[in-house]
Amino acid sequence: ELKVEQNPLFLSMQEGKNYTIYCNYSTTSDRLYWYRQDPGKSLESLFVLLSNGAVKQEGRLMASLDTKARLSTLHITAAVHDLSATYFCAVDSNYGGSQGNLIFGKGTKLSVKP
Amino acid sequence: DAGITQSPRHKVTETGTPVTLRCHQTENHRYMYWYRQDPGHGLRLIHYSYGVKDTDKGEVSDGYSVSRSKTEDFLLTLESATSSQTSVYFCAISVKGGLYNEQFFGPGTRLTVL
């Protein structure tokens, strides 16, 4: 059974600092997703990572995937208040196949303070 | 928001009453999903559909049923609502993008069972 763990679950950062959110998963997968959720809102897709060593960047966020370690990271560079949100990773449960279901981590609530 | 609407957006009901939530998409995507989101649990899959009249159970399907009589509509029914079903419910569709499928989420329905 695929399990997805994120840490930390809560993260309070100062503006301008760097930090990393970790997403570990328990069984082999080849598709990993990162989402952002603002309070009271829906989930917004950030990144799709498909292969070992994949790296994607958007603004101050960079996501990477190590399929051998079953680990993805979401790195935040020089945090700003607008990045305050909850971030979820999700892993496709159907390795090597077509459409699978997503298993979500519990989310990391990020708060960026001045 | 990928053309997904949910109705109602908010509902308060009493224990033991039936409740139906509706998810509507404007594009003919084959896969649709119902998730619930609770503090400390992330998103958990309730049921999903891979076509008209084709549905299957997810991780937390007990107490819920679904129907899909048209491609664009996916209904979630709580036959007899309980307080443990108080949650935020999200519908999602899966959009094929080359080598992968990506899920996009509706705005959510906040359900309170008293």
Interval A29-74: pLDDT, tens: 878 999 999 999 999 999 999 888 889 999 999 999 999 999 999 9
Residue pLDDT, tens place only, A95-110: 666 667 899 999 999 9
Rounded Cα distance, B107 and A111, in Å: 23
Q: Percent of chain B scored above 90 by pLDDT?
A: 84
Distance CA B108, CA B23 (A): 9
pLDDT, residue A97, reads: 61
B72, two tokens: 């664009």
Three-state DSSP class for A83?
helix
| DSSP helix/strand/coil, B84 | helix
Q: What is the mean pLDDT of residues A13-17?
A: 95
pLDDT at A95: 64
- Asked if B40 lies within 8 A of A106 by C-beta distance, the reply is yes
Please report residues of B whose CB lies closer than 8 A to that of A31: 100
User: pLDDT tens digits, residue range B84-105?
Assistant: 999 999 999 998 877 778 899 9
d(CA A48, CA A54): 9
For residue A96, the model assigns a pLDDT of 61
Measured between beta carbons, the chain B residues lying within 8 angstroms of A104 are 42-44
Q: Does B99 touch chain A (CB under 8 A)?
A: yes
Hey, are the CB atoms on B103 and A42 less than 8 Å from each other?
no
Residues B92 and B98: their CA atoms lie apart, in Å, by 19
> Across the interface, do B101 and A99 touch by the CB < 8 Å criterion?
yes
Q: State which residues of chain B have pLDDT below 70.
A: 1-2
- Among the partner residues B33, B44, B102, nearest to A45 by beta-carbon distance: B102
Enumerate helices (H) and strands (E) in chain A, giving the number of each. 0, 11
Across the interface, which of A42, A90, A101 has its CB nearest the CB of B48? Answer: A101
